[in-house]
Each structure stands twice: as structure tokens, then as C-alpha cells.
Chains A and B, each alone.
Chain A
Amino acid sequence: MDVRLSEEQRALRDAAAQVVDRLGPKAVAQIGEPERGARLHAAVTGSGWRELRVGAEGGGPLASGVEAAIVAEELGRGAADVSFLGPTLAAELRRLAGAPPSSSVETVALDTRLSSLVGGVGGDWPAAVAIDTQGSALALVLTPVGGGSRLAGVALRAAPSGLDLTRPSEVLDPCPPATMVEGADRALTGDDLTRWTALGLSLSCADLVGTMRGAVELACAYAAQRRQYGAAIGSFQAVQHMLADAFVATEGSRSVTLHAAWAVDALPAGEALAAAAVAKAYCGRAARTVCETGIQVHGGIGNTWECLAHVYLRRALLSADLLGDARASLAHVLAHRGIGGTDGLR
């Protein structure tokens, strides 16, 4: 047992932090800026981070859930307006289905509550939401073929929407016709989808941890500089205690998230999902409060569109719902320990 990041993992974290600090948005007005956005997108593409879950020799992923979580956390911290989570989950699906890696960026489409991968057959598809769509022309979905779930794709129309200003979604209502993914010869088993959900929950938790860190850092910087009553507001205990609580909740969130990210590959699928449910219950609940604190510390400024504080809150609200919110995760934690029949997660 050694829960410290390895030397390689620390190097990955530092590299991701550098890209985010150099190319991430520093103000709300910069979000979606074409030139900086293109450079950030190119840097993430060049780093190969979206391919961490692509299949290596022997069928396993190139890198573990921990590496993917490290990148997700740094992107969240910088409220990076670049796709990562969606393409990473798409790469995982391709690997599990035995399909070759995609040559272009693609993402996944979920049901309208964002609780699981959307599935349908023939002309009978429910409305869907493609997440984290930036740079993607295709979203992966499931379709039943010959008794199993096969991988299919639906075309996106580049019509971004959604509450998260940094990671647009696209509503697919009606869902366009799906075409089978070439080479996706393996039907996805229940275990495959359980493990895939565990990965998705873990990465959304890692994004939440990063988002919380970013919100706290932003608020601390503001509290040290904003003066009222002739003193920096960060010197007032009332403000200090709010920020201290926010920091502590972030640290607890990181501990459960690291475990969930490790469990994705190291534990049996059911145990990996149980670990992810604990993490999502904890992080989902913590993140909203922490990001709300970020807004409160900014006072009136924090309630204006131009302040980054609401960008963090919006990002947290999306990540909190992805593949199961805190309530669904809590129901899974209880069901896993023999209490309550209805399982909140897939």
C-alpha cells in the first residue's frame, strides 16, 4: 500500500497543470476564444491525454484510471474549455468493444438525465445528450444486436448548449439514426458497462476535485486582495472559516476520488463501482457547497457574469450529475451493503 503518486504520475500532473495554466481561460470573456481555444485543443491533442484509455497490447488500457483522473483534476482546476472526459469515455468503449481507436475526436451520448449511456434500436431512440462535445463530430451510443449491446455512433451537428460554459453538450432530440461502429465486434457485457460507469464516475469526481480546488484558489486570491473596513476581507475569521471548510471538503473529496480511480482497474467491476459510488456521493455533495462558497466570498462581484466563480459552479453542477448524482450514488452505497432494493446506479 502506497497511495502517493509515482514519479511518472507527478510528472503527468505537472505537465497537465502547465498546459492549463498557460492556455486555460483566465477570464469569462476568454472562454470559447477561437485562437486560445485552438491552441489549448492542440496541446491536449498533442499530449495524447485523450488516448489514455485506448487499448494497449493485451487488451488493457494504455494508462490506469489514476492517470486519467490526474489529467481530469488539472483540467477542472483551470476550468479548461477543452474536451477530455467525453473522448476518454469514448476511447474506453471502443477498447471494450474491440474496435480500433478513432482517428478523430469523438464523445459519448447519455440519456437526458445524464445517468447512463443512451441506447435504442431501429427508429426507437429516446432523446439523448452528447456531453463534452468540443471537437467531436460523433457520439457513441449502444444498440442491441444479436442479444448483446453493440457500439454505434450518432452524428453531431455542432450545436453546443448546456449550463457548463467550458464543456458544451448537444441535445439530440430526436436522436439521429445510429450507425454501427466499424470493427466493434465484441458485445459489451454487464461487467464491461459496470466498469465503464466506474471510470466515468471516477473521472467526473476528479473533475469535481479540480473544480473545487480552482474555486477555492480563486476565492482565496480575491479575499487576500479585496479590502473592506480598511483590511483584506481574507483577514476576517468569518471569511477564513468558510474557505477553510471548503478546502477541507476538497481534501476529503480527493481521498475518495484517488481510491475510486485506482479501483477502476484494480478491483472486480462491482467493487470498482462501489468505490466510485462512495466517491460520487461525497464529491457531488461537497462540490456544490464549495463552489457556492466561491461565489459568496466574491460578494456582489461573484454574482456577475464576468466573475469566474459561477463558471466553476456550473462546471461542478454538470460533473455532479454525470452518470449518477450524489443521491443515486448514495442509494448504490446502501444497496451494496444490503439496504434498500433499488440501486441508484446502472
Chain B
Amino acid sequence: MDFGDSPEEAEFRLRLRRWLVVNDPGLPASSTDDEYWAGMAAWHRSLYDAGFFGLSWPTQIGGHGLSSVFEVIVDEELAAAGAPPRPSLGYLVQGILEHGSEEIKRRFLPGIVNGRDRWCQGFSEPDAGSDLASLRTRADRDGEDYVITGQKIWTSYSDEAEWCLLLARTDPDAAKHRGISAFAVPMRQPGIEQRPLRMINGVTKEFGEVHFDDARVPAANMIGAPGEGWALAMTVVSHEREPGELGYVARYAKTVNQLRRRVRDDPGAYGADQVSELGWAMVEVEMLRLHVRRRLSDRLGGISHGPEGSVDKLLMTWVEQAVGHAALSIGGIGHGGGDETWLNGYLYSRAQSVMGGTSQIQRNLVARRILGLPDS
């Protein structure tokens, strides 16, 4: 067991550190305003073009074929530099890699990885949140196409996306989990209308709802076999729960560092309870950094799509919300027209226990699939 860098890893770390000195785009502190989300696409391409994105993915799709632990080096260096986190789309890549045909992988994955194509994920519906398999959006065969009707909601980046990884019901007579298929749907077409949602912290760029009214998708854009959509969805959400796939450690570490500097520069202004909250946030973030090292090391022997993602999602949620509480406590809530950055960061942290499956769903999965407790 070795937490240290190999010579190759150390060389990579140093190269990235040097690159970041001149290439940090200087986006806002955390994901609390629209400018941040608008800047992420350019940041993605910049990271990719410099050879610092998609490190552990296959070279055929634009990755670097390196071992999984290079991803955590990226997170750590982005955090140390105060740069934005890497784009969070590993779960899409893993889902398509696992379930797509060679043709599908060749057509779609390079554009996702290099950041030229923006994607969103059309899973949740107004009546299918935690109970995702009850989704009702339909895809009906019509010649060489499928025709899509229905509504998706809480869709991240739906305003920017050129493509949607869509789950739709292709066989209304099949059992709930079996009649679902997955598609790569072009977003820029007359049958699709996208409306932004305003999150509780005021952000409008991240979150949307998407209406499908006789939208069309070629049958050749189906990912996996007809009825394989549920299996693909499970692969995607299991990775959507993994901090190692999402790269959020960098975001948390950056916020904690900013709070630390505030306290260090004016220690008399903060009480023992505030300092203590900062300390716990530091410990939580460090835990997550080390936990990601452990999880990505486990992948050196081959990737699995198991229930461990639910463990990691709960850990990550505790971290983000501890950081949110420290931000609220130390940054303050902007009374009298003050800075609302910290308040907005705190408000955004409340989404972490919902997105990618609520904490309650994750606990169900841990209890049943890891602890082996009986079904109710």
C-alpha cells in the first residue's frame, strides 16, 4: 500500500501544477453563480487540449489510457491552485462505454470527452424522481426513427446541451423496469423545448426542464439494446454518485481554503464554534480526498459498477454539507447588502443530498445491497 506518487505520477503532478499557474481561468469561487457555469465549457476544452482531462479513459475515445489514480492527482492539484474542478461527466462516459455498441462509442464518446459536444441527462420526470422506473416519456417507432413525447425535469445543463442521454419507454406492455430504452437525442430540433429552472441560490444556468413534443431520434441512436435502458441508467447513476468520477473534491477544498484564509487573516473576528466548524470541514474534505484515492486505487484491478457508489455519495454529501455549514457560519449570510457568495454556496449544498439519488435512496441501497438487510 502506497499513498505516495510514483515517478511518473510525480512528473505529471508537477507538469499540471506548472500549467495551472498560467491557465487557471479564475472563475468565481464556487458553483454559486451563472458566470461559473457559463465558463465551465471553455475550462473543459482548455483542460482537455492541454492533456489533463479524460486521463483514465481509453485512448480510442480521446482519453489517455492512464491508471485511475491520475484523476485524483488532477483533483488535488486543481484544489491546491484554487482552479475550478474538472467537468463532471465521467458517469455519462462510463454508461456509454459499458452499454453502447462500438459504433455508438465511436460516434459519441470523443465529442463528450473533448468537450466539443455538450450533453445533458434526461432521466428524472415530474412523476419519476426517486422512483425513476415509473418514467412515462414515450419513444414510439416510426420507420427509421423514434418519436418522443413527454417531459424531463431537474436536467443539468439542458440549456447548453447539444445532446441528451434520454431514457424513454419503448415498450409500454413490458414490466416497469424492462420497457425502457436509452437514446442519444439531438437537442436542437423543433420538437424539443428547454426552460431553465431557478435554483434556490438563484442560479439559472445549471438546471432545466425539457419538453418533448413529437421530437425525433434515429433508431441508430439507441444506446444498448431495446429494453436495456434501465441497466444503462443504473450504470450511469452508480458513477454519478462517485466523487472520484465527479471531481468535486477540488471544489470543496477551494471553498475551505478561502474560509481558512478569512479566519487566519482576522482571527479575532471568529468565535470558537465558528473555528470548530471550519476545522470539521477541513477534516471532512481531507477524508474525501483520501477516500477517492482509495476508491480509484481499487479500480486498478478493474472497474466495477456496484453499490459502493452509494457509500461514496453519502460521504460526499456529508462533506459538501459540512463545507456549506462552515461557509454559512464563517462567510455569513450577507445582511445589509453584504456578500452573498457564502450564503449561495450553502444553499447549493442542499442539492447534494437529492441529486443523483436522494440520501434516503442511497441508505436503502447500502442497507440492502451491502449490509444484506431484508427487504421490507
Contact = CB atoms under 8 A, between A and B. Distances in A.
B73 to A, nearest CB: 8
B148 interface: no
Contacts of B374: 224, 231-232, 234-235
Contacts of A278: 282-283, 286-287
Chain B interface SS verdict (over half): helix
B144 interface: no
A338 B372 contact: no
B69 A240 contact: no
A247 interface: yes
Nearest to A286: B287
Contact of A244 (B69, B267, B288, B367): B367
A334 B9 CA distance: 29
A272 B279 CA distance: 18
Contact of B264 (A252, A262, A338): A338
A243 B373 contact: yes
B279 to A, nearest CB: 4
Interface stretch (B20-28, B192-200, B291-299): B291-299
Interface in B325-370: 360, 362-364, 366-368, 370
Given A244-B367, A247-B371, A258-B294, A4 B279 contact: no
A6 B1 contact: yes
Interface in B271-286: 275-276, 278-280, 282-284, 286
Nearest to B272: A340
A298 interface: no
A333 interface: yes
B376 A237 contact: yes
A82 interface: no
Given A224-B373, A338-B264, A4 B311 contact: no
For B288, B301, B366, B367, the residue with the greatest tally of chain A CB atoms inside 10 Å of its CB is B367
A247 B301 contact: no
A118 interface: no
B282 A334 contact: yes
A221 to B, nearest CB: 10
Interface string A1-40: 1111110010000000000000000000000000000000
A339 B294 contact: no
B105 interface: no
B263 interface: yes
Contact of A9 (B1, B9, B283, B375): B1
B5 A1 contact: yes
Contacts of A138: none
A241 interface: yes
B40 interface: no
Contacts of B72: 1
Interface string B112-129: 000000000000000000
Contact of B280 (A239, A241, A248, A330): A330
A178 B173 CA distance: 83
A8 to B, nearest CB: 10
A183 to B, nearest CB: 33
Interface residues of A, number: 47
Contacts of B69: 1-2
Nearest to B73: A1
A319 to B, nearest CB: 17
B327 to A, nearest CB: 16
Nearest to B6: A1
A333 B287 CA distance: 13
B300 interface: yes
Given A1-B69, A4-B300, A330-B279, A252 B1 contact: no
A219 to B, nearest CB: 9
A223 B362 CA distance: 19
Contact of B279 (A243, A248, A334): A334
Contacts of A254: 294
A231 B294 contact: no
Given A224-B373, A256-B290, A334-B282, A262 B2 contact: yes
B264 A339 contact: yes
Interface in A245-293: 245, 247-248, 251-252, 254-256, 258-259, 262-263, 266, 278, 281-282
B146 to A, nearest CB: 38
A226 to B, nearest CB: 11
Nearest to B360: A241
A159 B371 CA distance: 40
B363 A240 contact: yes
Interface in A319-340: 330-331, 333-334, 337-340
Contact of B290 (A247, A255, A266): A255
A66 B1 contact: yes
A191 to B, nearest CB: 20
* The 6 residue pairs across chains A and B that have the minimum distance between CB atoms: A240-B367, A244-B363, A255-B291, A244-B366, A3-B297, A234-B373
Given A244-B371, A255-B293, A339-B275, 16 more contacts: A1-B3, A3-B3, A9-B1, A224-B373, A241-B363, A244-B364, A245-B314, A248-B315, A251-B311, A256-B291, A263-B3, A278-B282, A278-B286, A282-B283, A338-B260, A339-B279
Interface of B: 1-6, 9, 69, 72-73, 260, 263-264, 267, 275-276, 278-280, 282-284, 286-288, 290-291, 293-294, 297-298, 300-301, 311, 314-315, 318, 360, 362-364, 366-368, 370-376
Interface of A: 1-6, 9, 66, 216, 220, 223-224, 231-232, 234-237, 239-241, 243-245, 247-248, 251-252, 254-256, 258-259, 262-263, 266, 278, 281-282, 330-331, 333-334, 337-340
5 contacts: A4-B298, A224-B372, A243-B371, A248-B315, A339-B267
